[in-house]
Structure 1
Amino acid sequence: MCVRDNSKGSIELIVLGLLAALIVVLAMPLLKNIGEATSSSLSQVYSGMTAANGNGSNSDSGQQDSQ
């Protein structure tokens, strides 16, 4: 009769969980910086688009004319 020892699998799962948590914690500042850079770029694009309209307002408000 063979008895399996499940403790090794449990330890591996705990280690993998801790490793995943560490990766998430370390990735948070990087993801925050990416979000800020994207927001800044989108603001620049928006200001460029409104300046191209002439009066600083978007005349179609993102909607297409239904003619």
Structure 2
Amino acid sequence: MMLKHLAVGDRATIAGFNPTGKAYRRKLLSMGLTPGTPITVVRVAPMGDPVEIRVRGSALSLRKDEADALEVEKI
């Protein structure tokens, strides 16, 4: 499942990275978005870009391209 399919308030764990999102992989890893990490969707902008998530006690805003690079498993 992709991050863009989650609604506000949904919780998930990061399963991995989409093979088409290689350009963002290193950036996402440096922000603490490693496989197995739980996340919560805090808000989504009206047009779907950006998406705010809570991870490891911090709030991150991801652009649509960055969010498409993440594969998640809903909790």
TM-score bracket, normalised by the shorter chain, equals: under 0.3
TM-score (norm 1): 0.22
Name which one, 1 or 2, has greater alpha-carbon Rg. 1
| Structure with more contact order per residue of length (Cα contacts < 8 Å, sep ≥ 6) | 2
**TM-score normalised according to structure 2 size:** 0.21
Q: Where is the strand percentage greater, Structure 1 or Structure 2?
A: 2
